[in-house]
Copies of this chain bind each other. A is one copy, B any other.
Amino acid sequence: MVLRALRAAGESGRSPSLAELAAVTGLSRPTVEQVVESLLGAGYAAAAVNGDGTRAPRVGRPARRFRFRAEAGHLLGVEIGALRVAVLVSDLAGRRVGSAVRTATARTPAAERLALVEGAARAALMASGVARDSVRAVGVGSPGIMAADGSVRLCAALPGWTGLALGERLRAALGAPVVVENDANVAAVGERWRGTAVGCDDVVMVLAGLSPGAGSLIGGRVHRGYGGAAGEIGALHLLGRGATPESLLSTDGRPLAALDEAAVGRVFERARGGEALAGAAVERYVERLTHDVTALVLALDPELVVVGGWASGLDGVVEPLARELSRYCLRTPRVAASALGAEAIAWGALRMALDRVEAEMFAVHPPGGPAECGVRPE
């Protein structure tokens, strides 16, 4: 309670005194003092250099003030995609302190892709001046079905990914606990944390583009399904017209190259420029997307559908998608474009790492403080 109060005060720029912490938490002053001493010892709290509380100290010795040491540890949020790997670094308050991106190809072998992650993580830490042993947890968003032990149960999108002990490999490489989750699921978490889904508990997140996937939150929690495959909608098009996004978006009769999201962006751009063939291609693509999303919406009845993914030009998708959905749904959800864009997955992954650390940080610890936090095997 004291730690939460300290951190909440820090978010609004205040450094509370012991008396204020006692008032906020409802604990006795001696108890608060004891806890704060233990937090000081564990490094989660520090004496504030300047008393910057809102109330001026009374006469006599100014009250000691304290702050949450957000710099006491750091987190990594990792996006692993077919075409790129991205890493975000934050402090314990979830504030961004650095990032790095590495490009890949759809053919990059697994070992090489893992090395890209490690390289991006090192670069992001170095650029932000964060020591490697300050990393308390790593969150990872990856395509595919993830097992509870952090291995990849099934992944068609990345070569060598099925069966990979992803969590274990990255824990060994990065020296911190690793939480692994499906990319669309973590994107939903990211958008709910600090994107367009803030305040929404029932969310469908669609990663549009050429390898469509979806994630969902039900009651604010990730819905994985019985076998972790919930939202793996890649096969939906087989049921409809059987056409792939690559062929739907073609303007010359030849399908786009697999996973060439840049080509998707170009078709969208030409459509916006008024080119008829591109306009028709985008229309076909939106119809297909509507099909996929409607199926999800009819099954789940979310409050909000967030459309994201790497394809640029998605801003042209939201309005027709919302219009089409209202034709098919008994209750039509709100539709919004991702606010975090390409960073939704990395932010969501980072949020899951923070969840893990907070669960430990805010756990009730035996006297001696939360010394067992930090690196610990999964």
Q: How far is the CA of A286 from the CA of B216 in the complex (A)?
A: 28
Q: Which residues of B contact A329 (CB under 8 A)?
A: 229, 232, 235
> Are B229 and A331 within 8 A (Cβ)?
yes
Residues 221-257 of A, flagged 1 when their CB comes within 8 A of B and 0 if not, give: 0011111111111111011100000000000000000
Is the C-beta of A218 less than 8 angstroms from some C-beta in chain B?
Answer: yes
Q: Which residues of B contact A63 (CB under 8 A)?
A: none
Is the C-beta of A303 less than 8 angstroms from some C-beta in chain B?
Answer: yes
In the complex formed, the residue of B with least CB distance to A291 is B239
Interface residues of A in 192-220 (CB under 8 A from B): 201-202, 214, 216, 218
A215 to chain B, nearest CB (A): 11
Is the C-beta of A322 less than 8 angstroms from some C-beta in chain B?
Answer: no
Is the C-beta of A307 less than 8 angstroms from some C-beta in chain B?
Answer: no
Pick the contact of A301 from B229, B234, B236 — CB < 8 Å?
B229
Is the C-beta of A333 less than 8 angstroms from some C-beta in chain B?
Answer: yes
A312 to chain B, nearest CB (A): 26
Q: Which residues of B contact A236 (CB under 8 A)?
A: 294-295, 298, 328
Q: How far is the CA of A239 from the CA of B324 in the complex (A)?
A: 10
Is the C-beta of A27 less than 8 angstroms from some C-beta in chain B?
Answer: no
Is the C-beta of A300 less than 8 angstroms from some C-beta in chain B?
Answer: yes
Protomer copies: 2
Q: How far is the CA of A228 from the CA of B333 in the complex (A)?
A: 12
Q: How far is the CA of A116 from the CA of B359 in the complex (A)?
A: 55
Instruction: Say which size band chain A's interface belongs to.
Output: 35 or more
Residues 143-162 of A, flagged 1 when their CB comes within 8 A of B and 0 if not, give: 00100000000101000000
Q: How far is the CA of A239 from the CA of B286 in the complex (A)?
A: 13
Is the C-beta of A296 less than 8 angstroms from some C-beta in chain B?
Answer: yes
Q: How far is the CA of A299 from the CA of B327 in the complex (A)?
A: 20
> Are A238 and B333 within 8 A (Cβ)?
no
> Contact residues of A with B, CB < 8 Å?
145, 154, 156, 201-202, 214, 216, 218, 223-236, 238-240, 290-291, 294-296, 298-303, 327-331, 333
Q: How far is the CA of A240 from the CA of B300 in the complex (A)?
A: 19
In the complex formed, the residue of B with least CB distance to A153 is B331
Q: How far is the CA of A235 from the CA of B296 in the complex (A)?
A: 12
Among A223, A328, A330, the one with the most B-chain Cβ atoms within 10 Å of its Cβ is A330
A76 to chain B, nearest CB (A): 28
Given contacts A298-B295, A301-B226, contact A331 B235 (CB under 8 A): no
Known: A229-B331, A232-B331, A295-B299. 4 other contacts (CB 8 A): A225-B300, A232-B329, A235-B329, A236-B295
A135 to chain B, nearest CB (A): 32
> Are A299 and B299 within 8 A (Cβ)?
yes
Pick the contact of A228 from B239, B240, B298, B301 — CB < 8 Å?
B301
A336 to chain B, nearest CB (A): 15
In the complex formed, the residue of B with least CB distance to A227 is B331
Q: Which residues of B contact A231 (CB under 8 A)?
A: 298-299, 301
> Are B301 and A299 within 8 A (Cβ)?
no
A–B pairs, 18, beta carbons within 8 Å? A145-B331, A154-B331, A201-B226, A214-B299, A225-B301, A228-B301, A229-B298, A229-B330, A229-B331, A231-B301, A235-B328, A238-B327, A238-B328, A239-B290, A239-B291, A239-B295, A239-B328, A295-B295
A16 to chain B, nearest CB (A): 38
Q: Which residues of B contact A145 (CB under 8 A)?
A: 330-331
